Each structure stands twice: as structure tokens, then as C-alpha cells.
């Protein structure tokens, strides 16, 4: 090493160049590396500051953007500005139709189907403490809808009915139909027979869950179903409970919530309700409620948007509260 340094030094002397000793050369290298790191760090910091400025400017731009105009609760004629494709609102006591729109249109009804499922179960007088087990036959292989009940899970018939009405549990509704005397085929036949008995002439059921778009009805027919189902205390309780905890025979306790958040709102007095949704049906809702001391039945089918049925119910309530009984018969096409 020393010999190599002496040779380099001699060469440097001949050429008139200065050569740093090994320790100084290493120091220069270290200093260069340190300077390079500082430059990289400074560039990175500058980039981060620039990105932060862009994000801040973007947030200000979004905040400054004008909001969409608020949708009025009533239209130019003073009627509720509801967006559901089919609507029927009826006085439960007198039967007077307060508001309707396309109330005779035959459309898919999704999980509103489960209200008829519940009516068949309670009217059959079956043992509500009998254990029912979820099988592969209850799994939805068509729409691949989710369920918290695993194959092999067992609940009482009462628990299955409870979460089918409250949380719209599809496998529970399917299990209720399968465990009917004669199986699911006989259960669906009973559903259709009951529909005819109630005068629901435009209604047809093909399953107990509502997953098939071939479960169809009209707003007018469903108002008849709500009227009759409301007479069953168990259906009133199970459909309006805000929450429930159930324990299967092979799992831990499961917490279920109501699909209709209005039932937990103290400002509402709801006696019966059922929600529904599949793509073909849109968002649907049927309810019995007390508004301004008046018992009303409301049916909303194919509401527009995720919060469409919620908005429609709110606007309808405001309209009912604003009218006098004698003014309350309205039809819109």
C-alpha cells in the first residue's frame, strides 16, 4: 500500500498535482457522500411540501365547490316530492287512499316477500321452539347474497323468523320455508293461496326469501298484506325490534340490527315494517305507522338511490302532518 502511494505521489509531483494522504482522501469521500445525502433529503422534503400544498389546494377547491341544490320536500302542487316508482299511502282505519303513484304496476318486491313468509309461519301454528338447521339448500348460489348464518347453524323457528323480519336474513327465511310441512314447495303454494285469499290478485311468490325477481306484486296489493300482517302481534314485534342477539348451537352470540333505522327513532311510532332490495326491485319499504294520531300504511317500491326510500318516507310524513283529513286523497301519475 505504501509503495503504491509513493508511486502515485511521484507521478503527482512530476505532473504538478497534489495528492491527499489516504486518511484525507477518505475524509473527502465521506464529506462528498454526506453532501449528496443532504441534497437528496432536501429534495425529498421539497417534494413533500409541494405535494402537501397540492392536497391542501385540492381540499380548498372541493370545499369551495357549490353544493347541489336541496331537493324540496313538496312539488309545485304542494304534493310530497317522492321519487319511488310505485307508491301507495292509505288510512288504515277508513281505507282511504291518501296518495298513490303507479300503485297497480306489477314489479319485483325483493325482501318484502318475507312479510308473507312471516304471516304463513305464524298462521300455521307451528312449534316456535323447534330447532331449524341451515343447510346447503339455503345458500344463495344465484345472487351470492351474504348471510351470517353458516351451513350447520341451528336456531329455533322463532329466532329464524325474528332475524328474517328484522334483519332480512335470507338463509333464515329459506330455512323457514324448507321446514314447513311438505317442504318449500308447499310453503310457496301456501304463500300464493294466502295472497289470493287477501285479494292480492297481482301478486306471485316463487320463494320465501325474496331473492328471486319473480316474486312480484303491486303497491296496492302490498298495502293489503300490511293491513293483515299488522294484526299479528309477533310480526309487529319481530319486524320493529331495533336489535337482537341470537346464539346458534355451534357458534358464539351474534348481534343483529334492524334494516330500517326508523324503528330506533323515538320520533316515529312504527307498528310494522319490512325493507327489501335486489337490483331488479330497487329499494323498497312497507310500513304501518302513527302520524299525527292517524294510523297509516305506506308502500314505497323502487326508490331511487341508496337513501331514496328514507327521503321518501320523511317527505311523506311531513306532507301527512301538513294536511287535513278531508284534503288527503291525492293521486299522481
Q: Establish whether 114 is a catalytic residue.
A: yes
Q: Considering only CA atoms, which of 92, 122, 107 is closest in space to residue 239?
A: 122
Task: Indicate the DSSP class of residue 145.
Answer: -
- Pairing relationship of beta strands 294-303 and 86-91 according to DSSP bridges: antiparallel
Q: Considering only CA atoms, which of 163, 153, 162, 158 is closest in space to residue 248?
A: 153
Taking the C-alpha atoms of residue 252 and residue 246, their distance in angstroms, rounded to an integer, is 9
Query: Considering 83, 114, 194, 224, which one is annotated as catalytic?
Result: 114
Query: Considering 103, 167, 168, 311, which one is annotated as catalytic?
Result: 168
Task: Spell out the alpha helix ranges (H) of 152-297.
Answer: 157-166, 170-178, 183-197, 219-229, 233-240
Query: Considering 111, 209, 212, 311, which one is annotated as catalytic?
Result: 111
Q: Establish whether 257 is a catalytic residue.
A: no
Q: Considering only CA atoms, which of 108, 106, 100, 105 is closest in space to residue 333?
A: 100
- Pairing relationship of beta strands 243-247 and 253-257 according to DSSP bridges: antiparallel
Taking the C-alpha atoms of residue 216 and residue 105, their distance in angstroms, rounded to an integer, is 10
Q: Active-site residues: which are they?
A: 111, 114, 168
Amino acid at each position: 500500500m505504501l509503495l503504491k502511494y509513493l508511486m502515485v505521489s511521484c507521478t503527482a509531483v512530476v505532473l504538478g498535482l497534489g495528492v491527499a494522504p489516504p486518511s484525507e482522501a477518505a475524509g473527502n469521500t465521506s464529506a462528498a457522500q454526506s453532501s449528496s445525502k443532504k441534497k437528496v433529503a432536501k429534495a425529498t422534503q421539497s417534494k413533500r411540501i409541494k405535494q402537501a400544498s397540492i392536497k391542501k389546494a385540492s381540499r380548498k377547491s372541493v370545499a369551495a365547490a357549490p353544493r347541489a341544490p336541496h331537493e324540496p320536500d313538496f312539488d309545485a302542487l304542494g304534493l310530497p316530492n317522492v321519487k319511488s316508482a310505485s307508491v301507495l299511502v292509505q288510512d288504515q282505519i277508513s281505507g282511504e287512499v291518501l296518495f298513490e303513484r303507479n300503485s297497480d304496476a306489477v314489479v319485483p318486491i325483493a325482501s318484502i316477500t318475507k312479510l308473507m313468509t312471516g304471516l304463513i309461519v305464524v298462521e300455521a301454528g307451528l312449534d316456535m321452539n323447534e330447532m331449524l338447521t341451515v343447510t346447503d339448500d339455503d345458500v344463495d348460489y344465484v345472487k351470492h347474497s351474504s348471510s351470517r348464518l353458516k351451513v350447520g347453524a341451528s336456531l329455533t323457528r322463532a329466532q329464524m323468523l325474528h332475524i328474517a323480519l328484522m334483519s332480512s336474513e335470507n338463509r333464515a327465511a329459506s330455512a323457514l320455508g324448507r321446514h314447513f310441512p311438505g317442504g318449500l314447495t308447499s310453503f310457496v303454494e301456501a304463500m300464493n293461496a294466502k295472497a289470493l285469499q287477501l285479494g292480492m290478485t297481482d301478486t306471485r311468490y316463487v320463494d320465501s326469501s325474496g331473492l328471486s325477481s319473480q316474486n312480484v306484486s303491486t303497491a296496492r296489493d302490498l298495502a293489503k298484506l300490511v293491513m293483515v300482517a299488522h294484526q299479528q302481534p309477533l310480526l309487529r314485534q319481530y319486524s320493529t325490534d331495533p336489535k337482537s342477539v341470537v346464539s346458534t348451537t355451534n357458534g358464539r352470540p351474534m348481534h343483529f340490527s334492524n334494516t330500517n333505522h326508523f324503528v330506533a327513532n323515538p320520533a316515529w311510532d312504527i307498528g310494522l315494517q319490512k325493507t327489501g332490495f335486489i337490483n331488479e326491485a330497487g329499494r323498497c319499504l312497507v310500513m304501518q305507522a302513527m302520524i299525527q294520531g292517524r294510523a297509516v300504511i305506506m308502500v314505497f317500491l323502487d326508490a331511487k338511490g341508496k337513501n331514496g326510500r328514507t327521503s321518501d318516507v320523511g317527505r311523506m310524513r311531513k306532507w301527512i302532518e301538513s294536511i287535513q283529513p278531508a284534503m288527503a286523497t291525492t293521486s299522481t301519475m
